[in-house]
């Protein structure tokens, strides 16, 4: 049982929290904006645990969908499902349990948020297969990884205003940036097996596009949050975020596997910086 538990934890990437942190920070920032400050312990708990559970469920679904492709990619060949150490039915069952647990948390909010959760689940299920048909599947992932934003507004206010969709659009550009970095790590292998990724589609313009995606993300969030920003703290956070973007560009400019993977793994600090700027803007009023 200990060995099986270890395999399940490996399947949901428990030892790599950067993945769920990438989802968590924009979701929490949206909660703070929707509530005009601290959203309360109930919603904070629901969205934190729900983010972890749904990201873990998504890993199960993704690994089942990609198991034949992952055999041919150096970085993913030893994943539990791909290597046969966890059966497909086991992975799907674990994913279903995790998704149901997340749904149980959503049921403690309101009807509007429950309804939006079905849309979020649908996008989660679609993404693994988008890589077979869409030239930039990272855009589909961007919607999936940003859907906590409208759900946060719905949970606080009972509706999803235009502001929420604007923040989702901005966050989508951030996902495009960091997941293209991630795709650059596997580009050689993906070309051999016919996988579609933004790194392949963008070709030699990949670094320039990633830089533009980062800047669009920060510009959209700054423009939308500007009327609510109090004092200089958010703008200080934005400068720190821009410095991180510059660092990431230096890491990926030679397109090395190690540099691109490092840039991807460090993106949760960029998300935290933006969230901290938002939260402190309300706290220090």
pLDDT, tens digit (0-9, with 9 covering 90-100), for 125-150: 888 888 778 888 889 889 999 999 99
List the domain boundaries for the chain: 2-283
* pLDDT for res 56: 94
Given a cut of 90, whether residue 234 has pLDDT beyond it is: yes
Given a cut of 70, whether residue 1 has pLDDT beyond it is: no
Whole-number Cα distances in Å, 197 to 178, 186, 225, 230, 274: 13, 10, 31, 40, 27
Given a cut of 80, whether residue 70 has pLDDT beyond it is: no
The DSSP symbol for 74 reads T
Determine contact, residues 47/27, Cβ cutoff 8 Å.
Answer: yes
Element (H, E) at 188: helix 187-193
Given a cut of 90, whether residue 153 has pLDDT beyond it is: yes
- Tokens 């993906």, residue located: 190
Residues above pLDDT 70, as percent of the chain: 100
Q: What is the mean pLDDT of residues 138-163?
A: 94
pTM: 0.93
Given a cut of 80, whether residue 105 has pLDDT beyond it is: yes
- Tokens 């009327």, residue located: 227
Q: What is the mean pLDDT of the chain?
A: 92
* pLDDT for res 169: 97
* pLDDT for res 125: 86
| CATH domain 2-283 topology | Tetracycline Repressor; domain 2 (1.10.357)
Given a cut of 90, whether residue 191 has pLDDT beyond it is: no
- Backbone torsion region of residue 136, taken as left when φ is above 0, otherwise alpha when ψ lies between -120 and 50, otherwise beta: beta
More reliable by pLDDT, 56 or 125:
56
Tell the burial category of 113 from Cβ atoms under 10 Å away from its Cβ (0-12, 13-18, 19+): buried
Element (H, E) at 262: helix 257-265
Q: Which of 41-45, 115-119, 120-124, 246-250 has the lowest mean pLDDT?
A: 120-124
Between CA 91 and CA 100 the distance in angstroms is 14
Neighbours of 176 (CB within 10 A): 24
């Amino acid at each position: 049982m200990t060995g099986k538990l270890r395999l399940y934890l490996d399947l949901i990437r428990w030892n790599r929290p950067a993945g769920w942190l990438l989802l968590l920070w924009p979701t929490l920032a949206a909660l703070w904006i929707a509530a005009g400050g601290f959203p309360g312990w109930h919603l904070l708990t629901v969205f934190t645990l729900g983010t972890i559970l749904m990201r873990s469920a998504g890993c199960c679904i993704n690994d089942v969908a990609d198991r034949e492709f992952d055999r041919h990619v150096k970085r993913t060949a030893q994943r539990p499902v791909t290597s046969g150490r966890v059966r497909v039915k086991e992975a799907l069952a674990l994913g279903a349990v995790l998704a149901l647990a997340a749904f149980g948390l959503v049921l403690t909010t309101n009807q509007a948020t429950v309804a939006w959760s079905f849309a979020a689940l649908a996008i989660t299920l679609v993404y693994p297969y988008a890589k077979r048909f869409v030239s930039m599947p990272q855009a589909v992932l961007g919607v999936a990884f940003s859907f906590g934003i409208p759900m946060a507004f719905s949970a606080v206010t009972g509706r999803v205003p235009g502001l929420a969709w604007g923040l989702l659009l901005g966050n989508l550009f951030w996902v495009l940036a960091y997941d293209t970095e991630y795709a650059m790590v596997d580009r050689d292998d993906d070309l051999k097996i016919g996988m579609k990724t933004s790194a392949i589609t963008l070709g030699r313009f990949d670094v320039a596009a990633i830089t533009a995606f980062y800047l669009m993300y920060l510009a959209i969030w700054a423009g939308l949050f500007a009327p609510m920003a109090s004092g200089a703290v958010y703008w200080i956070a934005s400068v720190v975020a821009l410095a991180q973007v510059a660092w990431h560009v230096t890491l990926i400019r030679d397109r090395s596997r190690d540099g691109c993977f490092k840039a991807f793994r460090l993106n949760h600090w960029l998300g935290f910086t933006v969230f901290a700027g938002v939260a402190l803007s309300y706290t220090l009023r």
